[in-house]
């Protein structure tokens, strides 16, 4: 069961970009690069993966604002195209034959997984759940525990697996789960310590399951098929059990060796035979039901001989009678010879034999016989206790010779908890579907449905078998484990139709197949654990043959399996593997419960029918079943898991303790901070840790308290929040004011229900103070990764240009520090605590800078204020992009992200730059030059600003009619004909006439900076499209372009941002921090 997840490119006829290589086309869930703690670090194909864009320059006008960052932040259309070229195929194992054939041959086309729910999940789970216990021990459990207690045993075990399946479905549908099953899910949900400990327990359970299936195979072979093949034969009845165990050891070792060779030579043969083994199971079960209903009309003839009320082994005699009359002469039978010293009628006989008569009853009385009332209650007893029927008999003094008499006796001491441990392996195998997740067409749909349906089916089969066995078969035959009372037939086989051999042969091949699959799966699980590198002493088992076969892991698996075979008793091995499987299921439930309670942003399972209480109930039931089955085995299993956990956790690290409770608490906090500082958080654990920059008024009160409200709605009390502000001056002169400001901020935080820390810095100027906060806020690993601030709305009217220059420098510093930046425009209009009515949160995804735009609406909608809002995602397509394909790719991307949102692709072509754009650019440049060259007084500046504003308004009104008369340039669907028509029209007509006419209208336009014109064109066009689509949205999220690298154009940058957001009420500008913050993986 390999755990590495590889995404392989699929040929789609597109020509790869210059500079592409095979290495760049492989996306691994976790690459080989490691960080401080030795754990693998996630690699992303989207951020800082610029190889695909080398040598490619952006040549359009619509996205000019973003062109300086195209090398690191690709266009959304490029991202979606890249995603569409990948498919999630598991890293399979190639066989010897395939490796030889492929050597030097042409690379084959990789096919995407096509297995559905029925073939890929339901049938494998059915095959793994139904098995040896059903055929060899189910009748004995029903006879020993009775129908009522057997019903309780089956219900408890099936409830445990059903609850575990619900938790597993939630985990398995929380993203793309590569192959690896429970080990992958637990290790990625609870960390490497739990993952390694439970993964090894699951490996041991799978290995001992292989031993149990092999022992079952040998028991069927030696007891029911070829009893004469036994090597060790007992001279006395008391030694028969020991001889049988020796035979099991010898034949089991031979069978294990043969199966290991088959697995070593070629696993593909095992996989091809899986359908045959499944057919054997299904046919056997169908024959049981057919036989049950046949007993209503014609019960099968299987007579059982009783001496008094004691059941006799029907091996050494042919007639159930003491004497027989032949030719009018009374002669003794072979049964007489078993209890008497000789065949004479006056021979000395066993006292009980002499005092009681021999009677013959039907072993299968039938469904309507009323046997169900007799078998309702249990019949436990010690080893050696005789199997007796509720009939009158004459008691006799027990003698030592009784143990040599052909009575049916208990081979082991029976009690309720023992039967639980023996039965539980018959409900394992529920992970078969999740182990095949990489081969499924839609794993997130197939795994829950297939697994739960398989468990429901097998539960019905088991519960119906309990009732039907108790209603059809006599109690003494049910308690006869090896069928000695029915001439050595398999007890369940006596019920089958048309012949007992259907069950015998079917169960034999079923056990063989299950054993082979265990020996196939266990080495791969060990290899996956070894390759993860979390248990250093296991690293040698990560190596294998050239084709990936885990040779060393298979050898270790065979040795551990041999230790189970040397135990030689199916009843002794079953509780051992029950412990390991129960521990695995316990941690699956724990993982689901913790993820649900922690409510991490990445926890978005598509399977919705789960709850943390169900997971805790399943976990409690697993723990109870562990101690019910065998408390000492449970302690040993927990000790093994605990040792592995501690070994992984503390290898190479020193554990330090403080003094007293406070010392322990402080040390734990220190240890946690150090662990956090060792490496950045994984993408799955990433959530915005905010540094909120507040402005204070002259009375040191918070200017924009709604910024704190928005913080509360975004964080919901989770993660880190640091609220910071800056006072100008020196700390020595303003320390009192700083404390007062801090108190005011804390009061505002309390009023807005914002949980976090407050930090007020006194600095010589605003810009340096914000820089200090950005650099130094937080402690160790508890540092912010995002900055939230308000847009300086009055920057045009400000007397001091430092206000907007400080803002732009903050943008630059957050980019340099790799922090995400959130800028809220019109923050005072944001909702306080009132719930918004149904509306939309619109995301305009223009460039991909880590996925912040996707994550923020999901986090906001967790809060009651935004809960009723729907999420809409708009992205922009250029003229040569396929908008229909982009929409499909974006919908698939959102499906894998488990996000529900409406998708719309807006097409923008390279239209001519309008006169309105030139006029806006001219006004902007004139204003900039005047403010630089003239030393104006405050009154003059206000008058000049008003003049420019009036002039801008007049120009806008004059050109409005022309803009309205122009045809609509935003199309939602491009056809090939429309593409060529528009391009030719633009090239021939607009390129010659329109530009010349514009420059004739105002000659000064010709002297404008063309870079500014193009950027203004981008802002105007984007604003038109956004206002058209999202003017009524409750919140609009936009990509925030970075400021120009040339600082001389800073004031122009502010103007571009204003134009882009003009006409929108609530806007949140988002700038990523240079890393992925959302992932499709589990």
Please state, in angstroms and rounded to a whole number, the distance separating the CA atoms of residues 347 and 953.
130
pLDDT of residue 973: 44
Lowest mean pLDDT among 4-18, 80-94, 993-1007: 4-18
Residue with tokens 């099936």: 158
Q: For residue 133, what are the contacts with CB-CB under 8 A and spacing of at least 6?
A: 422, 423, 425, 426, 574
| pLDDT at residue 280 is higher than 60 | yes
501-546, pLDDT tens digit by residue?
A: 999 999 998 899 888 888 888 888 888 888 877 777 888 888 877 7
User: What pLDDT shows up at residue 561?
Assistant: 95
Distance CA 332, CA 427 (A): 50
CB atoms within 10 A of CB 797: 12
Q: What is the pLDDT of residue 944?
A: 60
Rg (CA), the chain: 39
Across the chain, mean pLDDT equals 78
Q: What's residue 661's pLDDT?
A: 35
- Beta-carbon contacts of residue 274 (< 8 Å; ≥ 6 apart): 124, 127, 513, 517
Q: Edge-to-edge, what's the strand order for the sheet holding 358-362?
A: 310-311, 303-307, 358-362
* Distance separating alpha carbons of residues 197 and 735, to the nearest angstrom: 53
User: Within a 10 A sphere around the Cβ of 66, how many other Cβ atoms?
Assistant: 20
Exposure string of 1053-1063, with b = 16+ CB inside 10 Å and e = fewer, is: bbbbbbbbbee
Query: What is the spatial distance between Cα 941 and Cα 931, in angstroms, rounded to a whole number?
Result: 8
432 vs 727 pLDDT, higher one: 727
Interval 1018-1024 mean pLDDT: 83
Q: What is the pLDDT of residue 99?
A: 45
Segment 1030-1051 shows an average pLDDT of 83
3-state secondary structure of 6: strand
Is 60 exceeded by the pLDDT of residue 45? no
Q: For position 946, what pLDDT does the model report?
A: 63
pLDDT digits (tens, 9 = 90+) for 149-184: 999 999 999 999 999 999 988 888 887 766 556 677
pTM of the model: 0.72
- Residue 584 pLDDT exceeds 80: yes
What tokens appear for 1038 in the block?
């936009």
Give the Å distances, CA to CA, from 150 to 464, 577, 946. 11, 20, 89
Percent pLDDT > 70 in the chain is 76
Q: Give pLDDT, residue 862.
A: 86
Residues in the chain: 1082
Per residue in 46-70, pLDDT (tens digit) is 454 544 444 444 555 667 777 777 7
Residue 95 confidence (pLDDT)? 38
Q: Across the strands, what pairs with 388?
A: 310
Q: Work out the end-to-end distance of the chain between its first and last CA atoms, rounded to an integer number of angstroms.
A: 17
pLDDT for 151 equals 95
At residue 213, the pLDDT reads: 93
pLDDT at 348: 87
**Residue 1037 is inside which H or E element, if any?**
strand 1035-1039
> What is d(CA 1049, CA 430) in angstroms, rounded to the nearest whole number?
63
Nearest to 805 by CA among 936, 635, 931: 931
Provide the sign of the torsion angle of the four alpha carbons 1031, 1036, 1042, 1043, taken in this order: positive
φ/ψ of 89, rounded to 5, equals -110, 140
Decide: residue 77, CB within 10 A, 0-12 exposed, 13-18 middle, 19+ buried.
Answer: buried
| 259-277 per-position pLDDT tens digit | 999 888 877 777 777 788 8
How confident is the model at residue 673, as a pLDDT? 76
pLDDT of residue 171: 85
Residue 437, pLDDT above cutoff 70: no
Per-residue pLDDT, 917 = 60
Lowest mean pLDDT among 339-343, 396-400, 689-693, 1030-1034: 396-400
115 forms beta bridges with 440
Query: What pLDDT sits at residue 110?
Result: 46
Collect all residues with Cβ–Cβ distance below 8 Å to 611 and sequence separation of at least 6: 596
- With contact defined as beta carbons under 8 Å apart, do 524 and 202 qualify? no
């Amino acid at each position: 069961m390999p755990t590495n997840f590889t995404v392989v490119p699929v040929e789609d006829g597109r020509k790869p970009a210059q500079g592409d290589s095979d290495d760049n086309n492989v996306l691994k869930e976790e690459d080989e690069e490691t960080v401080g703690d030795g754990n693998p670090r996630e690699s992303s194909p989207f951020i800082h993966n610029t190889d695909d864009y080398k040598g490619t320059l952006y040549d359009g006008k619509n996205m000019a604002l973003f062109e300086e960052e195209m090398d690191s932040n690709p266009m959304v259309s490029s991202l979606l195209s890249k995603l569409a070229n990948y498919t999630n195929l598991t890293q399979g194992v190639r066989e010897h034959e395939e490796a030889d054939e492929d050597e030097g041959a042409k690379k084959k086309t990789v096919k995407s997984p096509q297995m559905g729910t029925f073939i890929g999940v339901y049938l494998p789970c059915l095959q793994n759940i139904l098995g040896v216990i059903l055929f060899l021990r189910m009748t004995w459990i029903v006879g020993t525990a009775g129908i009522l207690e057997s019903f309780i045993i089956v219900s408890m075990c099936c409830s445990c697996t059903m609850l575990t399946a619900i938790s597993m479905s939630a985990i398995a549908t929380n993203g793309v789960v590569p192959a690896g099953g429970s080990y992958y899910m637990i290790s990625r949900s609870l960390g490497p310590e739990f993952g390694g400990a439970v993964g090894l327990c699951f490996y041991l359970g799978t290995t001992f399951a292989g031993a149990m299936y092999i022992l079952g195979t040998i028991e069927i072979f030696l007891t029911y098929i070829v009893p004469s093949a036994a090597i060790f034969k007992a001279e006395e009845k008391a030694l028969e059990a020991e001889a049988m165990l020796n035979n099991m050891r010898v034949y089991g070792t031979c069978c294990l060796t043969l199966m290991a060779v088959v697995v070593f030579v070629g696993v593909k043969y095992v996989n091809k035979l899986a359908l045959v083994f499944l057919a054997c199971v299904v046919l056997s079960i169908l024959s049981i039901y057919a036989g049950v209903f046949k007993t209503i009309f014609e019960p099968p003839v299987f007579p059982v001989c009783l001496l008094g009320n004691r059941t006799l082994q029907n091996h050494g005699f042919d007639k159930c009678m003491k004497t027989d009359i032949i030719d009018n002469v009374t002669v003794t039978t072979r049964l007489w010879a078993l209890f008497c010293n000789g065949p004479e009628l006056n021979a000395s006989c066993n006292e009980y034999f002499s005092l009681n008569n021999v009677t013959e009853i039907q072993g299968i009385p039938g469904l309507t016989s009323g046997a169900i009332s007799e078998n309702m209650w249990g019949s436990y007893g010690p080893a050696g206790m005789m199997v007796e029927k509720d009939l009158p008999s004459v008691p006799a003094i027990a003698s030592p010779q009784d143990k040599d008499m052909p009575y049916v006796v208990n081979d082991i001491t029976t009690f309720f908890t023992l039967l639980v441990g023996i039965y539980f392996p018959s409900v394992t195998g529920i992970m078969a579907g999740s182990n095949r997740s990489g081969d499924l067409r839609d794993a997130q749909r197939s795994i829950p449905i297939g697994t739960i349906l398989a468990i429901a089916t097998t539960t019905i089969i088991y519960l119906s078998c309990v009732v039907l066995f108790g209603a059809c078969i006599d109690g003494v035959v049910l308690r006869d484990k090896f069928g000695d009372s029915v001439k050595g037939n398999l007890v369940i086989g006596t019920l089958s139709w048309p012949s007992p051999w259907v069950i015998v042969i079917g169960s034999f091949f079923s056990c063989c197949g299950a054993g082979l699959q265990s020996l196939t799966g266990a080495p791969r699980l060990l290899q996956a654990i070894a390759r993860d590198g979390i248990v250093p002493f296991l690293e040698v088992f990560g190596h294998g043959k050239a084709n990936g076969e885990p040779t060393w892991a298979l050898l270790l698996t065979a040795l551990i399996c041999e230790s189970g075979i040397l135990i030689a008793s199916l009843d002794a091995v079953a509780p051992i593997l029950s412990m390991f499987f129960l521990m695995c299921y316990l941690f699956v439930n724990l993982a689901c419960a913790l993820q649900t309670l922690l409510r991490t942003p990445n926890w978005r399972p598509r399977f919705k029918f789960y709850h943390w209480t169900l997971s805790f109930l399943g976990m409690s039931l697993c723990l109870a079943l562990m101690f019910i089955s065998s408390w000492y085995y449970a302690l040993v299993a927990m000790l093994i898991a605990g040792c592995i956990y501690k070994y992984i956790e503390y290898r190479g690290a020193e554990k330090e303790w403080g003094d007293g409770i406070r010392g322990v608490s402080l040390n734990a906090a220190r240890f946690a901070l150090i662990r956090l500082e060792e490496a950045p958080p994984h993408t799955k654990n990433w959530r915005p840790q905010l540094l909120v920059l507040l402005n204070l008024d002259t009375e040191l009160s918070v200017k924009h308290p709604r910024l704190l409200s928005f913080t509360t709605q975004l964080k919901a009390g989770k993660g880190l929040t640091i609220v910071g502000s800056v006072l100008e001056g020196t700390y020595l002169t303003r320390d009192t004011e700083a404390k007062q400001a801090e108190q005011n901020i804390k009061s505002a935080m309390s009023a807005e229900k914002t949980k976090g820390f407050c930090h007020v810095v006194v600095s010589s100027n605003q810009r340096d103070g914000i820089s200090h906060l950005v650099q130094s806020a937080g402690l160790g690993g508890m540092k912010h990764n995002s900055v939230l601030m308000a847009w300086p709305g009055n920057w045009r009217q400000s007397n001091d240009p430092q206000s907007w220059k400080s803002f732009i420098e903050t943008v630059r510093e957050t980019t340099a520090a790799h922090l995400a930046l959130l800028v809220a425009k019109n923050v005072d209009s944001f909702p306080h605590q009132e719930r918004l009515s149904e509306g939309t949160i619109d995301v305009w995804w223009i460039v991909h800078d880590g996925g912040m735009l996707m994550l923020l609406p999901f986090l906001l909608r967790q809060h009651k204020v935004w809960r009723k809002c729907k999420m809409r995602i708009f992205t922009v397509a250029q003229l040569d992009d396929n908008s229909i394909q982009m929409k499909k790719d974006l919908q698939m991307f959102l499906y894998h992200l488990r996000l529900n949102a409406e998708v719309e692709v807006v097409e923008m072509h390279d239209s001519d730059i309008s006169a309105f754009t030139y006029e806006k650019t001219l006004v902007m440049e004139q204003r900039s030059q005047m403010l630089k060259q003239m030393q104006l007084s405050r009154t003059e500046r206000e008058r000049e600003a008003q003049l420019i504003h009036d002039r801008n308004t007049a120009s806008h009104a004059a050109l409005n009619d022309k803009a309205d008369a122009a045809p609509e340039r935003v199309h939602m669907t491009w056809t090939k004909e429309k593409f060529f028509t528009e391009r030719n029209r633009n090239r021939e007509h607009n390129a010659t006439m329109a530009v010349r006419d514009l420059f004739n209208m105002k000659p000064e336009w010709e002297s404008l900076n063309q870079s500014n014109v193009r950027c203004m064109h981008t802002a105007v066009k984007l604003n038109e499209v956004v206002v058209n689509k999202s003017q009524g949205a409750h919140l609009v999220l936009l990509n925030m372009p970075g400021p120009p690298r040339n600082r001389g154009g800073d004031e122009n940058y502010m103007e571009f941002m204003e134009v882009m957001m003009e006409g929108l009420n609530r806007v949140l500008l988002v700038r990523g921090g240079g890393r992925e913050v959302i992932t499709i993986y589990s």
